[in-house]
């Protein structure tokens, strides 16, 4: 028998709340975390709004030990501490640091744009870069610690140092699917016995000029500047793109017998993980939804359950024309054209947290199982004939929820699905 994997802790720092319960209540009430961008002056950009983490400060003890942490790393540290505390591992010391791992889906940190730009101007001579002058200025002006944040594994490094974790430590950056894949791969580590506990999740912040420029050039962002709270409209006929967000969610995954032995509260069990690639285009999904369907089918097979046993689907649901139609086609291929499973996208309220999106949405699945209620898809006012399923529009819904599927799809054709359910003895 393969080793079972349960969730014993969760934490988050998001645009809708800096802890799990605040986030959850905001989602159930259909609140929007989207507003005018304040992190930088976005007034001349096609999209002047985003889903920002506001008024967040790391706890003082963390800030002292990680004073050079970048923005997304600070989110991860805060979320991880919440999850660690809920799991009871820190208080009980009932874990082996060498048998405890980390697997994060996290992005590159923010560049030091101000100094970088001034260096470029001062080192530009006769229409080209004076590399000697650039080198001199780089040593004078750039912060070593801030530039290190460009390494995607810095989140993992900070978390390992903070919690004394000495087991397997990995980071994956498969775009918008990263944290779902990280949690799936962490599950595999636990199943095969390479660790007993894994801290897993995602962290990302791309709300800066470079990040917004890139997505704007792809025409992926909503430009609904006249209705900012309603700009993220997954599965709605009038949708025009996603809303860029930021944040972090972290979960403590633990081998079932380990958690049982120490009397930990088990929040849910991860029973299925599936992954596939579209092998189509770098930025577009295969329009027939075959890649998405393949990932979902793999997760069902891994869980050993049939499509009829899924009670709720937390969709990737970005709000772009293509993604929502492709995901819908994939779900229909797996569950059938007459499927009645409630589906929702919390990106309609919290925005798209990129590498942190999947982990945050998985947290909502665990809470849906706990409270027997599914969050709504906000702003889904006008049905799209190409998206004919039950997307739980506008209002949260009481429902029997024992088993959930979480979908995530990333640039490059990455498809990942997780299945979680109530823990059974």
DSSP letters spanning 111-147:
P-HHHHHHHHHHTEETTEE-HHHHHHHHHHH--HHHH
Please state the separation of Cα 163 from the chain's center in Å: 21
Q: Which of 310, 322, 325 is nearest to 374 (CA)?
A: 310
Active-site residue flag, 404: no
Active-site residue flag, 68: no
Annotated catalytic residue, options 12, 176, 365, 404: 176
Annotated catalytic residue, options 12, 352, 387, 404: 352
Q: At which residue do the structure tokens 């002058």 appear? A: 133
Annotated catalytic residue, options 72, 316, 365, 387: 316
DSSP letters spanning 369-392:
HHHTEE--BTT--SBBTTB-S---
Cα 298 from Cα 82, distance rounded (Å): 32
Pairing assessment for the beta strands 100-106 and 197-205 based on DSSP bridges = parallel
Cα 60 from Cα 313, distance rounded (Å): 38
Integer angstrom CA distances of residue 396 from 26, 29, 228, 373, 399: 11, 7, 21, 7, 10
Pairing assessment for the beta strands 312-314 and 343-344 based on DSSP bridges = parallel
Active-site residue flag, 365: no
Q: What are the catalytic residues? A: 176, 316, 352
């Amino acid at each position: 028998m393969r080793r079972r994997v349960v969730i014993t802790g969760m934490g988050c720092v998001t645009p809708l709340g800096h802890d799990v319960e605040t986030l959850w209540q905001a989602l159930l009430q259909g609140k929007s975390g989207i507003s005018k961008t304040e992190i930088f002056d976005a007034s001349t950009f096609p999209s002047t709004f985003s889903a920002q983490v506001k008024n967040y400060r790391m706890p003082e003890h963390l800030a002292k030990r990680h004073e050079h942490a970048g923005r997304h790393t600070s989110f991860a540290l805060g979320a991880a501490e919440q999850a660690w505390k809920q799991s009871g591992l820190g208080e009980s010391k009932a874990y082996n640091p060498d048998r405890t791992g980390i697997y994060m889906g996290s992005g590159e940190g923010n560049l030091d744009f101000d100094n970088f730009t001034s260096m470029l101007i001062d080192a530009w001579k006769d229409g080209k870069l004076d590399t000697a002058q650039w080198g001199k200025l780089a040593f004078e002006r750039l912060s070593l610690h801030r530039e290190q944040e460009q390494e995607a594994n810095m989140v993992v490094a900070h978390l390992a140092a903070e919690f004394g974790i000495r087991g397997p430590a990995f980071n994956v950056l498969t775009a918008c699917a990263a944290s779902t894949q990280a949690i799936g791969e962490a599950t595999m580590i636990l199943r095969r016995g390479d660790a007993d506990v894994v801290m897993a999740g995602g962290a990302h912040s791309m709300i800066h000029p470079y990040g917004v420029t890139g997505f704007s050039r792809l025409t992926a962002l909503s430009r609904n500047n006249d209705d900012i709270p309603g700009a993220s409209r997954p599965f709605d006929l009038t949708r025009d793109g996603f809303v860029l967000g930021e944040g972090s969610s972290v979960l403590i995954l633990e081998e079932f017998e380990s958690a049982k032995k120490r009397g930990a509260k088990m929040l849910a069990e991860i029973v299925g993980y599936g992954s596939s690639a579209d092998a189509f285009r770098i930025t577009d999904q295969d329009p027939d939804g075959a890649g998405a369907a393949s990932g979902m089918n793999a997760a069902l097979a891994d869980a050993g359950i049939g499509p009829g046993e899924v009670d709720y689907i937390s969709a990737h649901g970005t709000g772009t024309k293509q993604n929502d139609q492709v995901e819908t086609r994939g779900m229909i291929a797996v569950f059938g054209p007459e499927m009645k499973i409630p589906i929702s996208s919390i990106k309609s309220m919290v925005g798209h947290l990129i590498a942190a999106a999947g982990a945050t949405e998985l947290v909502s699945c665990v809470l849906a199982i706990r409270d027997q209620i599914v969050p709504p898809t906000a702003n889904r006012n006008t049905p799209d004939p190409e998206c004919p399923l039950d997307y739980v529009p506008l209002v949260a819904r009481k429902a029997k929820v024992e088993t959930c599927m979480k979908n995530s799809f990333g640039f490059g054709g990455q498809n990942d699905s997780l299945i979680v359910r109530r823990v059974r003895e």
